Structure 1
Amino acid sequence: MPRLATPADLMGSWMNMSMLMMETASVMTMRMMGMAGLWSVTKSENERMVSEKSSAFLDSAAAASVATMTGKRPDEVMNAALRPLRRKTRANARRLGKRGPALPGPKKR
């Protein structure tokens, strides 16, 4: 008989989703500020913003499919689907956060 999800398992899934939402919001904010000239971003940021989504979502769907086909619990399937998305949002939040606000003077490239 498969092991049932514990409250700790469910809390972990909730935390994973919460972190994805917070990272996404911060990345969106920094990119929008970059478009307005208020955050230091590279010239390729807009192109990157569009191109990275398809691979992240394909990886997410594949991970969820594998987890489902191997008989994982619903919380494990969700965590598998979130893992590739979190990897991207976490990397983007760190990268953009390091660039900082756009200050007068020479531009960062």
Structure 2
Amino acid sequence: MSYGVLDFSALRTPMLLWQQMAQMAWEAQMVIALRTAGMMGVLRQDHSEPHRMVLEKADAATEAMQAALRAAGRGERADRVMAAALRPYRRRTRANVRRLSRKA
């Protein structure tokens, strides 16, 4: 990179990671709202939903840690390690929004 010139390609990966994190945060808030409505009786919800929401946190944390360690072990850059760790959480929040909103 020459001085005085901004390299926009260097910003692409962090921006994509930020976008994925923002999308996951939005979906997580939707999941919280849908589960809260279910616990209040406003929406229909399986009786096992509270148990499921606790168990999935531990499973996602384990998967995220393993993915991050695998990526770091391969010598990936920090943003790719973070993206690998984010993937299991993102997959679960997306699936939860779909599943819970279908019942709404």
Do they fold alike, i.e. is TM over 0.5?
Answer: yes
Q: Which amino acid aligns with 2:65?
A: A
Equivalence for 1:64: 68
**TM-align CA RMSD:** 1.1
% identical aligned pairs: 41
What are the residue-to-residue correspondences of 1:8-87 with 2, within 5 Å?
A: 8-87=12-91
State how many pairs are aligned.
96
Calculate the TM-score normalised by the size of structure 1. 0.84
CA distance in 1, matches of 2:73, 2:65: 12
**Structure 2: runs of 5+ lacking an equivalent:** 1-8
Q: Displaced runs of 4+ in structure 1, greater than 6 A?
A: none
Letter of the structure 1 residue corresponding to residue 20 of structure 2: N
> For residue 102 of structure 2, what is the aligned residue in structure 1?
98
Determine which of 64, 89, 95 is the counterpart of 2:93. 89
Q: TM-score, normalised by structure 2?
A: 0.88
Name the amino acid aligned to 1:6: A
Highest RCO, 1 vs 2 (Cα 8 Å, sep ≥ 6): 1
Q: Which runs of 5 or more structure 1 residues have no equivalent in the other structure?
A: 101-109
Q: Distance in 1 between matches of 2:90 and 2:78?
A: 18
Partners of 1:47 and 1:87 lie apart in 2 by 19
